[in-house]
Structure 1
């Protein structure tokens, strides 16, 4: 962590990393932190901290379940990953690799699996390039090469070039498949008729799929795990007598690499082409405001910042606060503010663009449906005025 970052924020970030590890099936046994100005270009952490981690791994190696992996809460370069792995002697994962591993585990459709494979292959290619020089030198050393050893370095370079060619061929095939998938998705969206499109967006594990099941009366997979939903699901929803399309999309997360977002282009096109965004927020999370900022930043990168939207504060049944004593003059914090008091803050300015619900306990759902109906109807009249005129005649 940097010198500007406080311990509470560091703990929260590591809690999220542990949740990611748990989702991937790993068990966290120890955390290490270091306060520095910036990461080491060679080993990310300093030599002393790396030795501390190494000593701990060695201490546990005779136990029934020794340490087999170390996970870093940032993206590591190929050089850093190689150096750390050589020093510690265990598998090394960075945040991006961990997220990609979960994506691979969660992918169900051919679309999602192809996207995960493409990104994994892309990573292999960059690692291969980064390790190229070292690989060639090692090959020369094994062959007794040195100054004047012309030709002795050939086998290593040939193997490297062969691996690169195989990886590039695989990337080309996967990219071609992704283009085909994009075309299929475009055709599917064109065939959906004249209906308003609504997309559920938000940080991962905030209850989007549960909200989807509630509105669409469907059975979309929902679980208390990160990235429970990876494949976009679209359902036709009817509120009163107005039909519209509702899409459940992959959750966003802090430090989600831009190229990983790009590899899921066809999935996120549901967000790009939506007429209305329902931004679901877990109000019981201690740092939900930062999660809102992460989602807004990602939406901005997708070119969706200006779309009509609503904030749906979910999980009000899990919101907890500690009542202050009457003579307590300390400033109010998130831990001792009631939900009613919280609603009077910046949220009050959102008016009907801000709702508070519990999708799991079905609290305030009637109000949610009513407000959603009004917004979808307004957008429908704007986008399909002639359709709406015919719709009114049929009603009469």
Structure 2
């Protein structure tokens, strides 16, 4: 478990560089991400050459966490799990996942402006929870070899310095308001990762950790609730927030998946249902608005009462207007009245669930825009952590919300959405 005392310590790039380092050494590397996240996994997939799945005891479930690790262990030489926030932040935290899965935590500590206090931070992380094994730490962004020696000498007995990473431009990837820039937008990402891997190699981080053992039975396959259903899925720079597990589940339930670009394609593929996932439509408002033939096709799909799932960025595109961070207004799909407007700060964050008669669809919310609409929501999600529950709108086959669902948590609910059937929400969810 690659973790840290908090966000901003550099663990995402260290995880990616470790994956690329061992991949370049001829090893098969699998990487997982603790908790909800779309952007880090994009980079980690490029780094490892393998799909990246989420692990979260509440969102994905403990059994799925065990199964995915056990499945990966059958083929991988090395498994890395990137933690979220700080090691003990959240409920369940990265530490909770590490303990449940029986894997050691490897903290990445930003050592800038720090000397002997580095040892105190490492000791605190290692001793805070006696059930969590922390045998090694990584010093990140050191100023000199002498600095690294001071950090190593500060560590208490039982904790060793695995490596000390110098400050290096290769260890940086651009970011924006939702996190890292999407991997596809970094033209030289492979070269950056190779350079970062070399930095880690020189820092002594090429050794493998001690082996661990996983054992778990594979889950029962889901029922074929979407047999014969063709689902068109938006996927490009404007709509890219897609969990591998969500796509896998749709196919396992019998759906045929077709991907298209609302930015570049002139027409919508012939499909029974449409999925507009989250992403960055606010960065491409003018181009989306200019693709009039695509907008017309999606409007016709909706007018025919065919199912549409619109998540976060997808919801924004369904509004009459999208107002970007510069204040420019773009007329988009108009499937629901009102507007989505970018705000100066984060508007919502946290784990949430939608309780229905067919199970609870679990997931999260994370957005920087505000919605203004006359529509009354069908329901609100249940807040597990973070901000209040998100409204879920349902009208003429369209299900729209800022809520991002993790499909395997409730396959029957997902099948209802893509078949255009009414969602039977529980009373606790009613708006």
Normalised by the shorter chain, which TM-score bucket? under 0.3
TM-score by length of 2: 0.26
TM-score by length of 1: 0.28
| Larger helix percent | 1
Structure number with larger C-alpha Rg: 1
| Larger strand percent | 2
